[in-house]
Every structure is written in C-alpha cells, then in structure tokens.
Amino acid sequence: MTTTKTASPSPAAKSRGGKSTREAILDAAMRLMHVHGYHQTSLDDVLRESGVGKGNFYYHFRSKEELGFAILDQIVATFVERTLEPCFADPTGAPLPQIRCFLDRVVQAQRDRQCRGGCAMGNLASELSDVHEGFRKRLASVFTTWHARFAEALAEAKRRDEVVAACEPDATARFVVASLEGAILLTKVTKDIGVMEQCVGELKRYLAAYEVPA
C-alpha cells in the first residue's frame, strides 16, 4: 500500500492575487477589522476574505491575538513610513512647517478614504484598551511615539527661537495629537471632510499663536 504524504503549509505559499499567504491574511484581516472591529471579526471571516485555509493560517499565526498584534505592527509601520516620517525626514528643516505638513497629510488621508474608517489606531484603542492589556500597552506606545515626534519638533523650534518661551512642547504636542484624533472621529461620524479641514485649520492657528514673527 502506497502512503501519500500531505504537504505542510509553506511560508512561501501564494494566495489569490499573487500575495504571500501571510500578506493575504494580514490584508484581509485589516480590511475587516477596520470596518467591524477586532472582536466582531472572526477567524472564519478572515479565512473566507483571504482565501487561505486554516492550516496555512496557523502556520503563520498561533492565534487571533497574534494576528491582531501583527496587524497593529503593520498599521504603525505604514503610518510612520507614509505619513509621519516624510514630513520630518530633514533634520535641518523648520519644525513648525514639518508639523503642518503632517496635518495636511492627515487631512488628505481622510479625503482619499472619503471619511470612512477613521483612524485605525484610534479605533483599536477605543475598542481594546479597557479589555486587553497587551493591546493597550502597544497602542499606548504608538501614541507616545507620535506625541514624542511633535514634542521634539516643538522643542527644536524653541531652541531656534521660532516659538515663544510660553510654548510647552510636551503639553502642546499632546493637545495636537488628542485634537487630531477627535477631529478624525468627528469626520468619520459626519462623513464630511469639511469638518477635518476646519479642525486642522484651527490647530494651525493654535500653533501660529506660539510662532515668533519672522
């Protein structure tokens, strides 16, 4: 009697669309969780959306929780690479224009998505921070990094005498981050990009109030 061996799932296996299995799982899960949330997205939903079998899923991720952590890592990496770093890439650049660059990118991102989905990091923070300590800690570190980037830019502006002495970089940066998250939430609810544009306009005026006239 001839025994046929069952092939083990391969990390190089391709799913539909030519993506690697891991990429297909992550992309599908991110789409679903961005709309339905972490808890309302089941493993079966992810498998159906990605076209990946359960065996291949467990080759790459031991659990839904591990998948969630990987999604968060990818969201953060994309945010840093596409939105945050391009505006702060030049260490000799003027700090306040760099912050304004970032604000404009956030508005454009909401415009491109037609005000749908909100902030992926904010959505996860709202859903999971009170019920899952692992996610809470990771999300807190994300917002800390975002806040630190703004605070560093404002501190540099202060060293260059580009903002008045009354400007407190740490507090100002935290206010800007919190205000942006609130603006994204309002834009998601109203489905009106004008809300985001107005809020960002007010944030720019807030920053300009600290700016030393050229």
Each residue of 184-199: pLDDT tens digit? 999 999 999 999 999 9
Residue by residue, DSSP assigns 90-157 as: -TTS-HHHHHHHHHHHHHHHHHHTTT-S--HHHHHHHHHTTT-HHHHHHHHHHHHHHHHHHHHHHHHH
Check residue 196 and give its pLDDT: 96
**pLDDT of 12 strictly over 50:** no
How many residues make up the chain in this entry?
214
**% of the chain at pLDDT higher than 90:** 60
Tokens at 71, concatenated: 């999604």
What pLDDT is attached to residue 51?
93
Residue 6 pLDDT greater than 50, yes or no: no
Going from N- to C-terminal start, the domains of the chain cover 11-61, 68-208
Q: Is the torsion defined by CA of 104, 106, 108, 114 positive or negative?
A: negative
Q: Let me know: does 134 contact 65? Beta carbons within 8 Å.
A: yes
The model's confidence at residue 4, banded by pLDDT at 50, 70 and 90, is very low
pTM of the entire predicted model? 0.79
Second-level CATH architecture of 11-61: Orthogonal Bundle (1.10)
Give the tens place of pLDDT for each residue, 90-106: 989 999 999 999 999 99
Which CATH number is correct for 68-208, 1.10.3980.10, 1.10.357.10, 1.20.1090.10, 2.60.40.60? 1.10.357.10
Per CATH, 11-61 and 68-208 having the same topology is answered: no
Q: What letter does residue 78 receive in the DSSP assignment?
A: H
| pLDDT given for residue 1 in this prediction | 43
pLDDT tens, residue by residue, 64-93: 999 989 988 888 888 888 888 899 989 899
Confidence (pLDDT) at 2: 43
Angle between helices 133-159 and 64-79 (to 10 degrees): 10
Q: Is the pLDDT of residue 167 over 90?
A: yes
